[in-house]
């Protein structure tokens, strides 16, 4: 889980990928459609279990900072606290495509 | 963690005026010192079949501002112009006519159906701020929320509509 910080510190939004279950709540609640998730399910049989379970595996998670309006609804709706505000704002970029941040960028 | 926006209080109330009193009430407010027209615009309320026309004016002798509002029925979208009260209303009323289709009686340009548009190009949709007019970016872009990791939860079984859209935008065309 990402460390809790003051709500005033709306610099950027961080992703804790291991906590994300690909439930799609943030994607579907985002008013500006700036979040995209790509994932698939895998069959996992926990030790001692009789039958395999379906587990969602996160393949890609992107936030397009060119669309995001920093409303924080995604942070609010995430049931697993995989998204959280972080204090340091993002730096500028030279190309519009660089505003699309993936898992590695959002986890840093 | 609570969201900060929940604790923001709306400190400015709207003073609602009847359509018949709209011009006279604002003329009276102007005489009382509310001389600086800040904004005049409208809100489409299709379910109520009405518009809210709202106006914000400031004083120059203090830092105070005030909202006024009027309900205009959509079947008779006409309101008295304020151009003889606030000169700046001419521009705002033309814009509101163009974006919502409300006619301002007494605003020479707004009242003239042949008058040229103020902001929109000829290719732009008519009255684009009416809510039934589709937002191009929302209709043309695939909604990222359609993706689902679990194939058993198909999009057709889900009832949630994409945020920021209205069902009537998708009723024609390819049956999305």
The interface residues of chain B toward chain A in range 97-156, judged by CB-CB distance below 8 A, are 138, 141, 143-145, 147-151
Do residues B104 and B139 touch, judged by C-beta distance below 8 A?
no
Are the Cβ atoms of A28 and B160 closer than 8 angstroms?
A: yes
Residues in chain B within 8 Å Cβ distance of A22 = 149
Say what the pLDDT of residue B42 is: 97
Q: What is the pLDDT of residues A23-69, one digit of tens each?
A: 999 999 999 999 999 999 888 888 888 888 888 899 999 999 999 99
For the domain spanning B2-115, the CATH number is 3.30.460.80
Residue A40: strand, helix, or coil: strand
Q: What is the mean pLDDT of chain B?
A: 85
Residues in chain B within 8 Å Cβ distance of A54 = 150
**Every domain of chain B and the residues it spans:** 2-115, 136-170
> Which residues have a Cβ under 8 Å from the Cβ of A83 and sit 6 or more positions away?
A13, A14, A15, A16, A26, A74, A75
Dist CA A87 CA B120 (whole Å): 40
B2, B147, B151 ranked by CB distance to A38: nearest: B147
Burial of B110 (0-12, 13-18, 19+ CB in 10 A): buried
Q: What is the mean pLDDT of residues B96-116?
A: 82
Q: What is the mean pLDDT of residues B43-63?
A: 95
Looking at domain A2-107, its CATH architecture is: 2-Layer Sandwich (3.30)
**Every domain of chain A and the residues it spans:** 2-107
Tell me the count of A-B CB pairs closer than 8 A.
53
């Amino acid at each position: 889980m990402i460390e809790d910080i003051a709500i005033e510190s709306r610099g950027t939004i961080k992703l804790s990928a291991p906590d994300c279950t690909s439930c799609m709540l943030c994607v579907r609640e985002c008013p500006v459609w700036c979040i995209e998730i790509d994932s698939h399910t895998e069959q996992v049989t926990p030790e001692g279990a009789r039958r395999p379970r379906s587990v969602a595996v996160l393949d890609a998670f992107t936030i397009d900072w060119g669309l995001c309006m920093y409303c924080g609804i995604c942070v609010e709706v995430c049931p697993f606290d995989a998204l959280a505000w972080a204090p340091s704002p993002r730096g500028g970029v030279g190309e519009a495509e660089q505003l699309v941040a993936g898992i590695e960028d959002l986890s840093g | 963690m609570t969201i900060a926006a929940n604790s923001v209080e709306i400190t400015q109330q709207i003073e609602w005026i009847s359509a018949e009193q709209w011009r006279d009430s604002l003329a009276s407010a102007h005489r009382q010192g509310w001389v600086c027209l800040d904004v005049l615009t409208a809100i489409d309320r299709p379910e109520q079949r009405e518009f809210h026309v709202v106006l914000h004016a400031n004083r120059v002798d203090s830092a105070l501002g005030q909202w006024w509002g009027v309900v205009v029925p959509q079947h008779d979208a006409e309101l008295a112009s304020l151009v003889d009260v606030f000169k700046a209303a001419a521009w705002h009323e033309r814009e509101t006519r163009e974006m919502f289709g409300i006619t301002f009686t007494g605003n020479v340009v707004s009242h003239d159906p042949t008058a040229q548009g103020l902001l929109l190009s000829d290719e732009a949709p008519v009255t684009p701020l009416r809510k039934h007019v589709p937002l191009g970016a929302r209709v043309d872009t695939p909604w990222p929320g359609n993706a689902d990791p679990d194939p058993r939860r198909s999009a057709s079984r889900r009832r949630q509509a994409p945020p920021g859209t209205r069902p009537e935008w998708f009723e024609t065309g390819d049956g999305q």
